[in-house]
Amino acid sequence: MSPLLKYPGESSNDALSPEAKAFAHSRRTFLFKLSILLNAAVGTVLAVPLVGYLLGPVVKDSDAGAVGSWIKIGEADDFPVGETRLADFQSPVTQLGDGETGKVACWVRRVADRQFQVFAVNCAHLGCPVRWFAQARLFMCPCHGGAYYQDGSRAAGPPERGLFEYRTKLDGNSLVIHAGDMPTLATQASCKERPLIQIAPAQAATRSIPWQT
Ligand code: FES
């Protein structure tokens, strides 16, 4: 029997040779260090999402200046002249751990070599994502039949205005947009320097009522 093996009740390893004792000691030390290492690794893996959750608001606050910043959505060459393509960008208001949900889709129309239009995908009626139909050259909303021309202006349906449009510029060969603000009827996606033209409240129909005339 190996000198390292002991039967139950066999209490000491006094009978072991100094070499066997040293070996047993170094093995215990190794297993102890290995267990510490594994515990540290597991603790780190578990701590990352927790720390991200706790620090999320702080990171968000410190990053507040990024709201409305210029964000690259691709190279100009990614968008052929005359075509409209779907693109996405990382929202500047996302938090640590948002992952794919932090991406925002947009429609990019390249009008001319250095002229672009970038639209929010959300319908100006109630926010459903609109789709681009190249043959018809229309954006169509699947929810209530809203339709927009290729330049984003309203064509038909319940929306009271055209698609929300981001400001764009070329930074070298990169297409960048002014993003971060949620497009609503009160704020445009790019509203800092060129305020949204507010929609005038719908005029009440002035119909004469026969028994009042
Ligand atoms: Fe698009 Fe209503 S949400 S038409």
Residues of the chain with pLDDT under 70: 1-14, 56-68, 180-213
Quick one: pLDDT at residue 59?
62
Please report the pLDDT score of residue 190 as a whole number. Answer: 41
Quote the mean pLDDT of the chain.
78
User: What pLDDT is attached to residue 6?
Assistant: 57
The pick from 121, 125, 139, 154 for probing ligand 1's pocket by mutation, whose C-beta has the most ligand atoms within 8 angstroms, reads 125
CA of 129 to the centre of ligand 1 (A): 9
**pLDDT given at position 140:** 96
Report which ligand 1 atom has the smallest distance to the Cα of 146. 4
pTM greater than 0.75 = no
Strand partners of residue 168: 177
Note the pLDDT of residue 43: 93
Distance 195 CA to ligand 1 centre (A): 24
Whole-number Å distance, alpha carbon 208 to ligand 1 midpoint, is 31
